[in-house]
Amino acid sequence: MASYLGVMIHVVHHPAYVTEAPARSTYRWGKNGAIRDLLRGQGDVIAWTEPALIPPVWLEAVHDPDYVAEVLEARVPPEKTRRIGFPITEQVAHRARAVPGGTSTAAMLAIEHGFAANTAGGSHHALANTGAGYCIFNDLAVAAVRLVEEGTVGRIAIVDCDVHQGDGTAALTAGRTDIVTYSIHAEKNFPARKARSTLDVGLPDGVDDDGYLEQLATTLIPFLDEHAPDLILYQAGVDPFAGDRLGRLAVSEAGLVARDTLIADLALARNLPLASTVGGGYGDDVMAIAERHVAAILTLGQKLSARNRLPLGA
């Protein structure tokens, strides 16, 4: 088996992630299928898990039950679907239950194996009573609340490196001491009105690799040391990329890999399990965006899953 010789990277994927775009969608829907296909091309280095749909009770633990019902019954009113960016069909509602299930499952696999990636998720703009910015349910907040309330871990850090602030995640976990939130983002980007994360790092437009990595290291290291989490949920959005249609920063592809290497090293040094989600990544070339997401998964997975490598001679 390949896993005896190298690294086995745990990846969570649900068939419902790959859906047809609903009519009037402004979001590109092909990304999750492209990510799956690129990871399939890695062969048996990848260990696949199909998650269960999230039980509605865990959606209701962070979202307004009326909003949960609107989504699950595919009757979200137009003022909310405009804010989300696409209509909620039955198929989209099914996907919206699969994604937080996937982030929960990735977290459980990370606890067992050091690392796991969800091939979707990172829906950090979803708020208590509405979705927003292409996000329906906040899988990060839902998974984190479930893990601490079930007693699986004591404290979780949600580390959000998407170029947009994790405003929904901050709002949905505000006031908790068992979930802490870190967001590094372009200050002038969406959302116009920011929420307050445990720690926000707002960057000026046009920050390059050196500036980005320096800001990340000098803020995230003390954040992790101060809060001493038992698990990291990592929103690995690739929209800080210089060519991103909705970014405002100037991070290169090598810079993104350096970012994910730094995140992995920080988790490794603290012996912290880490579960990653995807996140933003926008532009016309869906395959190029998927490749950036897969680079993040492989960078994190190769570093963090190495803890499971059998010692020589075992």
Binding site for Zn ion (CB under 5 A): 162, 164, 237, 239, 280
**Strand order from edge to edge, sheet including 199-203:** 46-49, 9-12, 115-118, 274-277, 231-235, 156-160, 179-186, 199-203
| Closer of 114 and 280 to Zn ion (Cβ) | 280
| Closer of 6 and 191 to Zn ion (Cβ) | 191
CA 159, chain centre distance (Å): 9
Amino acid making up residue 205: D
- Residue of closest CB approach to Zn ion: 280
CA distance 118 to 10: 9
Q: How far is the CB of 207 from Zn ion (least distance, A)?
A: 15
Q: Is the peptide bond before 191 cis (omega within 30 degrees of 0)?
A: yes
| Closer of 78 and 193 to Zn ion (Cβ) | 193
Task: Decide if 245 contacts 282 (C-beta within 8 A).
Answer: yes
Q: How far is the CB of 282 from Zn ion (least distance, A)?
A: 8
What amino acid positions are annotated as catalytic residues? 125
| Closer of 70 and 167 to Zn ion (Cβ) | 167
Q: How far is the CB of 306 from Zn ion (least distance, A)?
A: 29
Residue with tokens 């190495």: 306
CA distance 261 to 254: 10
Residue with tokens 């320096």: 214
CA distance 278 to 174: 23
Q: How many helices (H) and strands (E) does the chain have?
A: 11, 8
| Closer of 230 and 239 to Zn ion (Cβ) | 239
CA distance 299 to 288: 16
Amino acid making up residue 55: P
Q: How far is the CB of 231 from Zn ion (least distance, A)?
A: 23
| Closer of 67 and 241 to Zn ion (Cβ) | 241
Amino acid making up residue 292: R
Q: How far is the CB of 279 from Zn ion (least distance, A)?
A: 6
Q: How far is the CB of 56 from Zn ion (least distance, A)?
A: 27
CA distance 77 to 71: 9
Task: Decide if 51 contacts 105 (C-beta within 8 A).
Answer: yes
